[in-house]
Structure 1
Amino acid sequence: MSMSVGEQLRRRKPIVFRQHHHEGEELARNLTTFQLMMFGVGATVGTGIFFVLSESVPEAGPAVIISFLIAGLAAGLSALCYAELASAIPVSGSTYSYAYHAMGELVAVIIAGCVLLEYGVATAAVAVGWSGYFNELLDSTVGFQIPQALSTSFIAGPGEDPTGGLVNLPAVVLVFLCMFLLLRGATESAKVNAIMVIIKLSVLVLFVVIGLTAWNGSHFDNFFGAGLAGVTAAAGTIFFSFIGLDAVATAGEEVKDPQRSLPRAIIGALIIVTTVYVLVALAGIAAKEAGWFETEEAQSAGLSQILNDITGTSIWGTVLAAGAVISIFSVTLVTLYGQTRILFAIGRDGLISRKFTKVDARTMAPNFNTIVVAIVVALIAGFVPSDYLWDTVSIGTLVAFSVVALGVIVLRRTHADLERPFRIPGYPVTPLLTIAACVWILIGLPMTTWVIFLAWLGIVVAFYFAYGRRNATLNTYVDPEEIAEPRGDEDK
């Protein structure tokens, strides 16, 4: 039956559960709840926490601890929305898949553009950051640095002089190391990630323990001196240190007992991250007065300098720097993984080439997909400075968070009887607060970020009309009731 363009743009992917969720390739369900939780922690705890105090304390003063709690609450609202949708629709693709089921094909395409921008650019930006930390660690441990020509892109950052670089080789190497891990399969990648997450959490716990030994209660005097405006401004800065929890949802199709494991992993990762962040902030303020975080050494050395000053030796600062290197490696691995799984879901829906759905028979990993993503990300990381990358990450993430919250509301209305092992508390207030929090932060983003974002979405939508609309799987969709007995709710 022919379908108008408007009907195509609005059509929704049916929510039907059978032994296999989709026609075509499937991914192996091998991941445990713990491994999935470590994915969330691994994607979230990156460079942010190692340096965010130097950005947020000058805004909020000692009340930055409250700012961390507010940012954690805002991220928690989003996490609860993800938890409900992940338990109800446990498939690959995260926000993209949820949007396709809840709000239709055009919204799904737009969200696909958001999450591809989020994961692709974030992976490249994190790899560029890792290169700098790795070079500093080499210098502090063995007295050697990779030459500038091979550790800096030849493109200068905004308003900067020429770099004298050719390619950021360490960033490229990191991306390909992560690629080789992913080609070995999700299970192997999850094991390596879990080890790295435990190491970096241990390093942060080490900072907390040493930092609390230098407790000075006077550092908490005039606790709310910056006022509510300062606390909320710092919360907005800190919020981006929580971005990454949605990485759990990208693995929806590779986890055992997904309807139970996904909500537990998302909420568990949030609790771990928030607890560690608040303790780090508490230890940092206890060891240094608020004014210190505005100094140049605080801006350049972050938590490492605090440890050096407390202990009188650079050993623990070097350990913390090593933890930062491991931390960023873990973030790169998980964000690269998330990108490949989102493309897998988009390819299976026919909106891009189905080559992105080809799965290796031995590892059950989408190898073609992984290699293509790694090459593109490596090129960006090798030749584009991080200054051009970071601003475009946050907008895609916040739009995705908003759509997930909206998806909860829509599916409660259109699929009221859908099995939901996890139901968001405080509905509908919780998803509405999530949307409000994301919009509040989006309004404060620079106009240039919006221009880049809208231009990218224009390219994505144009590709959809040129290719995806004609090749979408829903063009030849057959009701699963005619080929297999469904499990759960059917679309009506």
Structure 2
Amino acid sequence: MIDQPDKLRRALNVPLLTLYGLGVTVGAGIYVLVGATAAEAGVFAPISFVIAAIVVGFTAFSYAELSTRYPVSAGEAAYVEAGFSSAALATVVGLAVAMSGLVSAAAVSLGAASYLHGLTGAPEAVLTVCVVITMGVIALWGITQSVMVAAVITVIEVSGLLFVMIWGFGFADPSGVGLTDILPPLTGPHWAGIGAASLLAFFAFVGFEDMANVAEEVKDPVHTMPKAIVWTLVLATVLYIGTTTAVLMAVPLGALSASAAPLSLVFASAPDTVQQGFGIIAIVATVNGVLIQMIMASRVIYGLADRGHLPKALAHVSVRTQTPDLATLAVVGAILLLALTFPIDALAERTSQIVLGVFVLVNLALIRLKLRGPSTEPHFRVPVVVPVMGVATSLLLFATAFL
């Protein structure tokens, strides 16, 4: 069947979709928030990433089933509408997902501007505007082109994290903690800090759910979506734990906690060429997070408008690029407003809370769908205990914000 010119193009396979998920996940978190996580959890910051990965894991499998049941843009809204039979609740969830992408992109654009400022000395506000507008132009270019650009950047940013681990474990002056110091005692007040840091660490995993919002542009979503979601989560977790441990061993905790560009501190005693080279990698990594969150948020807005939940104009698709152009322009404007108004740690925490709320509703929707009986359509399946645990772990992590 030939795609109609006013519909999105199915062009993403497992490697591209995995790189898409890794790109938004890795770029949106580890390059920016290691310092803020260490400020809350201290030397136990890697444990916060483990807790966040467990919370994300249950919900990731729920998304794997739902994204194959309903392989459409604005996926979470479609899942909630199917599970709760409520168009109003679906609209609220869709807008919350889009907002999480906007807030996340704003946070990461500030991180990118901070790394750029370290190399150029230009004002961070100006650099933030340049980053957001440039990524907006790429997002308008086309889904295949945008994700190919993001995939190339993802390879670069993952290489950067491997470089941090190699340098931190093997070449940097051991100015931080010992390897055994990162394992916390089983009881004590330190767990409150670890719990609070887990909410920030969770922000570093925000990304895999974005893959559900490009499902309408995925080839063979029944087989592609689950594989790409699992690969994204496993690879991101390994990278995060290794990177955080290497940074804590190489950098004094006080300096790390106060930095908006934390990974660059690993190379403080390295030759200038090494420092500058990593600075460029960090910039590339963070701008990638901005690009992919833009793609996600614009597809959510497009999907809501296409189903009549938002003004129909936002469902306009460019005939030339087959991208939702008006939705993308609206997203660019909103990201600029947020980035120039709020600090990075506040943006990250709000993103985590919004996404956790969405996770609770998505898992509840899957529980309700399963209780109605098995679907006759072919799709990936998980046992009902998975979404039940997804609800419980998401609520527990959300509660840490109030400790």
TM-score, normalization by structure 2: 0.88
1:397 deviation in Å?
A: 0.7
Q: Take 1:432 and 1:208, find their aligned partners in 2: how far apart are those partners?
A: 36
1:173 deviation in Å?
A: 2.2
Q: Take 2:199 and 2:236, find their aligned partners in 1: how far apart are those partners?
A: 17
Q: Take 1:392 and 1:59, find their aligned partners in 2: how far apart are those partners?
A: 16
Correspondent of 1:429 among 370, 375, 385: 385
Correspondent of 2:60 among 79, 92, 98: 79
Q: Take 1:55 and 1:123, find their aligned partners in 2: how far apart are those partners?
A: 17
1:414 deviation in Å?
A: 2.5
Corresponding position: 1:238 with 2:236:
no
Residue in structure 1 matched with residue 145 of structure 2 by the alignment: 188
Residue in structure 2 matched with residue 444 of structure 1 by the alignment: 400
- Kindly report which structure 2 residues correspond to 1:253-402, keeping only aligned pairs within 5 A, or say none: 253-287=216-250, 292-293=252-253, 295-296=254-255, 299-300=258-259, 302-309=262-269, 311=270, 313-386=271-344, 389-402=347-360
Residue in structure 1 matched with residue 31 of structure 2 by the alignment: 50
Residue in structure 2 matched with residue 163 of structure 1 by the alignment: none
Q: Secondary structure at the match of 2:204?
A: coil
Corresponding position: 1:121 with 2:80:
no
Q: Secondary structure at the match of 1:42?
A: helix
Q: Secondary structure at the match of 1:121?
A: helix
CA contact (8 A) 2:44 2:183 kept: yes
Amino acid corresponding to residue 258 of structure 1 in structure 2: P
Larger gyration radius, structure 1 or structure 2? 1
Residue in structure 1 matched with residue 178 of structure 2 by the alignment: 219
Corresponding position: 1:200 with 2:167:
no
- Kindly report which structure 2 residues correspond to 1:452-471, keeping only aligned pairs within 5 A, or say none: none
1:435 deviation in Å?
A: 1.1
Change (3 A) 1:297 1:280: closer
CA contact (8 A) 1:55 1:237 kept: yes
1:112 deviation in Å?
A: 2.0
CA deviations on 1:51-88 (whole Å, 9 max, x unpaired) are: 54444446556554443322212111121111110111
CA deviations on 1:434-471 (whole Å, 9 max, x unpaired) are: 11111112223369xxxxxxxxxxxxxxxxxxxxxxxx
1:126 deviation in Å?
A: 2.2
Correspondent of 1:410 among 342, 353, 368: 368
CA contact (8 A) 1:42 1:193 kept: yes
Q: Take 2:376 and 2:151, find their aligned partners in 1: how far apart are those partners?
A: 33
CA deviations on 1:182-226 (whole Å, 9 max, x unpaired) are: 222100001100011000100110111122215979813455445
Residue in structure 2 matched with residue 92 of structure 1 by the alignment: 73
Q: Secondary structure at the match of 2:258?
A: helix
Change (3 A) 1:385 1:376: same
Corresponding position: 1:28 with 2:22:
no
CA contact (8 A) 2:35 2:256 kept: no
Correspondent of 1:175 among 132, 145, 158: 132
Amino acid corresponding to residue 78 of structure 2 in structure 1: S
Query: Which structure shows the higher helix fraction?
Result: 2
Q: Take 2:26 and 2:203, find their aligned partners in 1: how far apart are those partners?
A: 10
Change (3 A) 1:84 1:174: same
Q: Take 1:169 and 1:64, find their aligned partners in 2: how far apart are those partners?
A: 32
1:47 deviation in Å?
A: 5.5
1:240 deviation in Å?
A: 1.9
1:366 deviation in Å?
A: 1.4
Amino acid corresponding to residue 333 of structure 2 in structure 1: I
CA contact (8 A) 2:203 2:348 kept: no
1:387 deviation in Å?
A: 5.8
Alignment RMSD (CA, Å) = 2.8
Amino acid corresponding to residue 178 of structure 1 in structure 2: M
Greater RCO between the two (CA within 8 Å, min separation 6)? 2
Amino acid corresponding to residue 142 of structure 2 in structure 1: G
Residue in structure 2 matched with residue 102 of structure 1 by the alignment: 83
Q: Take 2:290 and 2:296, find their aligned partners in 1: how far apart are those partners?
A: 10
**Identity across matched positions, percent:** 26
Q: Take 2:302 and 2:66, find their aligned partners in 1: how far apart are those partners?
A: 19
Moved more, 382-391 or 233-242: 382-391
CA contact (8 A) 1:214 1:287 kept: no
Q: Take 1:211 and 1:218, find their aligned partners in 2: how far apart are those partners?
A: 12
1:109 deviation in Å?
A: 2.0
Change (3 A) 1:392 1:341: same
Corresponding pairs, count: 395
Amino acid corresponding to residue 80 of structure 1 in structure 2: F
Change (3 A) 1:226 1:236: farther
CA contact (8 A) 2:18 2:231 kept: yes
Q: Take 2:211 and 2:344, find their aligned partners in 1: how far apart are those partners?
A: 25
CA contact (8 A) 1:61 1:225 kept: no
1:128 deviation in Å?
A: 2.8
Amino acid corresponding to residue 125 of structure 1 in structure 2: A
CA contact (8 A) 1:51 1:299 kept: no
CA deviations on 1:334-359 (whole Å, 9 max, x unpaired) are: 11111110011111111111111221
Q: Take 1:225 and 1:29, find their aligned partners in 2: how far apart are those partners?
A: 47
Amino acid corresponding to residue 30 of structure 1 in structure 2: A
Amino acid corresponding to residue 42 of structure 1 in structure 2: G
1:273 deviation in Å?
A: 0.6
CA contact (8 A) 1:90 1:253 kept: yes
Change (3 A) 1:169 1:59: closer
1:256 deviation in Å?
A: 0.8
